[in-house]
Amino acid sequence: MAITNRVPFEDKDFEQEQKRKIIEVKNISFQYSSQQQAVLQNIDLHLHSNEFVCVLGPSGCGKSSLLNIIAGFQKPTTGEVQIEGKHYSKPISEIGVVFQHHNLFPWMKIKENVGFGLKMKGHSKEEIEKQVHHFLQLVQLESAGDLLPHQLSGGMKQRAAIARTLAADPKAILMDEPFSSLDALTKENMQHHLLLLWSETKKTIFFITHDVDEALRLGTRILVMQPNPGKIAIDMANPLKRNNPAAVDFHHKEFQELRSYLIGAIKTS
Amino acid sequence: MEKLSFEISKEVKFRGISIVSVVVLVIIWAIVTHFEWVDPYFIPKPLEVWSSFVVLLSEGYKGASLFTHIANSMYRLFTALFLAFITAVPLGLLCGYSKYIRAIFDPIIEFYRPLPPLAYYALLVLWLGIENESKIALLFLSGFAPLFIATAAAVEKLPADRMNASLSLGATKRQLFQYIILPSCYPDILTGLRTSIGVTYATLVAAEMVAATNGIGWMVLDASRYLRSDIVFVGIILMGIIAIGLDSLLRFYQARRFSWVGK
Ligand SMILES: Nc1ncnc2c1ncn2[C@@H]1O[C@H](COP(=O)(O)OP(=O)(O)OP(=O)(O)O)[C@@H](O)[C@H]1O
Ligand SMILES: [Mg+2]
């Protein structure tokens, strides 16, 4: 274990900022019945309002498992998850999920996909139409509303999936490597969009990625997980976001140091 | 646009090849019969078949019009398919949902499915008589299995992520079924229905040949007893055209409605 516990970029003022707890992960352990090793062990984690949490870690360390538990898709072996103090163990509409594969409903037009959450909650047709228009505009897909998902490009599908999740108005959004299948240019464009959306909607975002630059660019807070069993090794505020959380200064003097620190942390695990 | 028109022209090309193939077949048929290389009792001339068709149209066959014969057959076919549809689809959905329920019905269906329908037709005739009831029961049984199996398989292969996504968007259990599970299964149910129609149709003709007093299958068998191969030809060609027509209708609907499948 080569990592010291020293976090080199501590910034008390930044961390002490008053924040409301949205999701609490309480002492969670998780193990597949078919396996010897626990996938996750004694994880404690609080996600706060208006926080953009990026999760890094080597492949197989349990990032997706943690996300699935927070989403309510999977039940932890021990421990529990709470949203604003309430326990839950099933998928709930307060927690939205964006998948690695867009996962749009293939037979529904884009606007029906985006309006799905509102329809399930029994909103009126006019209200749904208004909201759908708003969210399609937000992700710049106004003209694609009447198309089916398979008629869209990869980036457009992923934006539609984000709009669908946003339109259901969750308190927190969980994203599992949502941009990993996109080309570099589209990816950068999507990151830009997501940052804008986040600063507009003030939602808590839990974002899994294996791309350190992406984490530094997006996250206000960065977690690094380590495997066997999965645990959170680093939990730090992103110093590059100190002044303006919606933008990142890649020329910041700390950037290179920070980057190699995180890459080192992922590698040594 | 470019690509689309390219695809259409390719489609037209394949259609053209198919038409040429049919025309060549008819020409060979005409030549073979013209020079009487085969006994005319076995293979009638194309023109004779055509004129028999025209006569059948105007005079019918043995007391019933050609249309009545076809209508009788279609009535049996569609009554049976309707009954199969309203039972096999709900039961298939249930069995796809619950392994326990599936365990109840699986052995019964797996047992009778591979049996040749005519094997248990004797029993059905014994129980229900020689009229429509026994035929509809037979057709129902042959159409039920493929539809049931397709529906249950469709539910079982539903992607978990799709269901999770809809639950996270606030769908209740009932909404999940109505808005996600059912529509996800429609394409497979329709494919099952096409298989079902094919199996049922083949069984229908066989059943009418064993015991009936009307219907297109009966007409063919009856005509063969009197060595009227021209009428046999008319019957067979009509059966084929009806089958292709039914399937094309469903295929057309499938292509329009489910263009998203597999994408
Ligand atoms: N369905 C399953 N059954 C058994 N073990 C599983 C299952 N899914 C995942 N695992 C195991 O759980 C561990 C954690 O998997 P998980 O998908 O959470 O990793 P991850 O950090 O998301 O990896 P990646 O970065 O590759 O997506 C892995 O060791 C994997 O082998
Ligand atoms: Mg993963």
How does pLDDT run across A130-166, given as a tens digit for each residue? 999 999 988 888 899 899 999 998 889 998 999 999 8
ipTM of predicted complex = 0.86
Cα A64 to averaged position of ligand 1 atoms, centre (Å): 7
**Nearest-CA distance A91 → chain B (Å):** 5
- Burial class for B106, CB neighbours closer than 10 Å (0-12, 13-18, 19+): middle
Task: Note the pLDDT tens digit of each residue in B55-101.
Answer: 999 998 888 899 999 999 999 999 999 999 999 999 999 998 888 98
Ligand 1, atom 28: nearest CA belongs to which residue? Answer: A60
What pLDDT does residue A1 have?
38
Backbone angles phi, psi at A38, to 5 degrees: -70, 140
Distance (Å) from CA B170 to ligand 1 centroid:
26
Residue B141: predicted pLDDT: 93
Q: Which residues contact B167 (CB under 8 A, 6 or more apart)?
A: A72, A90, A91, B176
The string of pLDDT tens digits covering residues B27-52 is 999 999 888 888 888 889 899 999 99
A62 CA: nearest ligand 1 atom: 18
Q: Which of B162, B169, B184 sits opposite A120 (nearest CB)?
A: B169
CA A90 from centre of chain: 18
For residue B99, give how far its alpha carbon lies from the nearest alpha carbon of chain A (Å).
20
User: For residue B164, which of A205, A168, A97 has the smallest C-alpha distance?
Assistant: A97
- Nearest ligand to the CA of A39 is 1
Q: Is A146 on the interface with B (CB under 8 A)?
A: no
In CATH, the number for domain B45-257 is 1.10.3720.10
d(C-alpha A208, C-alpha A67), whole Å: 8
Atom of ligand 1 nearest to the CA of A230: 14
Could you tell me if A158 and A102 are in contact, meaning their C-beta atoms sit under 8 angstroms apart? Answer: yes
More confident residue, A173 or A10: A173
B178–chain A nearest CA distance, Å: 11
* Count of C-beta atoms within a 10 Å radius of residue B78: 16
Q: What does the DSSP assignment read for B98-149?
A: -HHHHHHHHHHHHHHTTS-HHHHHHHHHHHH-SSHHHHHHHHHHHHHHHHHH
At residue A248, the 3 state secondary structure works out as: coil
Residue found by looking up tokens 């997006």 in the block: A218
Query: CA-CA distance, B187 to B258, in Å (whole number)?
Result: 7
Residue pair A144/A114 in contact by the 8 Å Cβ criterion: no
Question: Is residue A76 lining ligand 1, measured as CB closer than 6 Å?
Answer: no
B196 φψ region: left (φ > 0), alpha (ψ -120 to 50), beta (else)? alpha
Residue of A nearest to B158 (CA): A105
What is the rounded average pLDDT of the residues A239-266?
Answer: 77
- The Cα-based distances of B120 to A250, B105, B113 in angstroms read 78, 19, 11
Percentage of chain A surpassing pLDDT 90? 41
Report chain A residues whose CB lies below 8 A from the CB of B170: 92-93, 117, 120-121, 168
Distance in Å, CA B221 to ligand 2 centroid: 65
Residues in chain B where the model's pLDDT stays below 70? 1-8
What is the domain partition of chain B in residue ranges?
1-38, 45-257
